[in-house]
Structure 1
Amino acid sequence: MKIDQGLFEEAYETLYPLIHKLSYHITGDVEQAEDLCHEAFIKYFERKKPLPDINQTKYWLIRVVKNISLNYEKKKFRQRKAIEKLKRSAPLTADSAEHEYIKKETISRIQRALDKIPYRLRMAVVLKEYAGLNYKEIGAILGISEGNVKIRIFRARQRLAQILKEETEHVSWR
């Protein structure tokens, strides 16, 4: 038995903004987040057995889009490494160096800081701050207790504050 069209539309209309926001904060790319969300909803639509309620659907979709987004990031990282290896073997021109500098400067400070913290801390804070989930929901998704969620979010915020402070100090010395 497949998912009913009405159930699917309700889930899509209700959960798409949350799922998209989560994917965006993992990938940092609006268009890619859209594609990954559509992929998650296709997987949901193709499920043989419908989920009992919208909350179960929400948790399921969050897990799916999280995994799809992380797999995309891993693939992108491997591709980036291969490109960097090729670039290192090619001579560096002034234009390409300037282009790289400008590109790096346009990346948001918070996204850079998020990338520097460990995955387990990053996921907890992204689910809390960007997906708007409560501690219980985050715990269910990550498979940890509410107390552990609170600790991870606290530590993530501490690390982010430290990284942003160091970046600010570094910029002021330039």
Structure 2
Amino acid sequence: MKVIFGIPKQRRISDEIFQNNYEKYYPIVYKQLYYLVGNNALAEDLTQEIFIQYYHSKNDNIEYLGAWLSKVATNTALNYLRGQKRSLRREDSVLEEYKYIFSIEDEIFRSEEIKTVRRVLSNLSEEQRICLLLKFSGYSYEEIHKATDIPKNNIGQLIARGKKKFQELYKEEGDMNVL
């Protein structure tokens, strides 16, 4: 390890290895983040942040890179969403004073649909929610197991139960909106 001015230089992965892994995993990580945050630009930004973390990681031999990236993506998205939830609470109190009328009905519908899906997802257990999101992001049971430490034999059952519960809650949510 090189030492510069008494500070050890951080090891990085080689540019070639990084580029190959970036091209291989970028679409998968982006898709997972898009499902989690529901915003194209934000998913791209978070994906870039994750690959910057990977590029500067000291561990140049991550054994299961897909699982590592997935876990980092999940944690990054959840941290963002937690912060967003706090921010939304503050904004809601301000917005109560002002009622905005949006002229684009499609945007309103899309926004409400996203909120509904997020609300329904938040009512699932954390394991069901993460397994569903990872599975629909294209991850295999093995990769989900590596990313979450959930026993591989439980993942299929969590996904099936999570899907069923999501459908039930989503239908209930739609019925409540009609009233």
- TM-score normalised by structure 1 residue count: 0.83
Question: Which runs of structure 2 are paired with 1:104-123 in the superposition (5 Å)?
Answer: 105-107=109-111, 108=113, 111-112=117-118, 113-123=120-130
- Tell me if structure 2 keeps the 8 A contact 1:120–1:152: yes
Over residues 43-96 of structure 1, what are the superposed CA-to-partner deviations in whole Å (9 max), with x where a residue is unaligned?
A: 11101231255xx221111111111111111111110001112233x2x54xx2
Find the counterpart in structure 2 of residue 62 from structure 1.
70
Distance in 2, Cα, partners of 1:121 & 1:65: 17
- Tell me if structure 1 keeps the 8 A contact 2:117–2:170: no
Structure 2, unaligned stretches of length 5 or more?
1-10
Distance in 1, Cα, partners of 2:169 & 2:75: 26
Distance in 2, Cα, partners of 1:35 & 1:166: 34
Q: CA deviation at 1:168?
A: 4.6
Distance in 2, Cα, partners of 1:168 & 1:105: 13
Question: Which runs of structure 2 are paired with 1:79-158 in the superposition (5 Å)?
Answer: 79-88=87-96, 90=97, 92-93=98-99, 96=100, 98-99=101-102, 105-107=109-111, 108=113, 111-112=117-118, 113-129=120-136, 131-158=137-164
Q: Does the residue aligned with 2:30 lie in a helix, a strand or coil?
A: helix
Percent sequence identity over aligned pairs: 26
Verify: 1:43 aligned to 2:53, yes or no: yes
- Tell me if structure 2 keeps the 8 A contact 1:20–1:34: yes
Q: Does the residue aligned with 2:32 lie in a helix, a strand or coil?
A: helix
Structure 1, unaligned stretches of length 5 or more?
none
Q: Which amino acid aligns with 2:142?
A: K
Find the counterpart in structure 2 of residue 165 from structure 1.
171
Higher helix proportion: 1
RMSD (Å), alpha carbons: 2.4
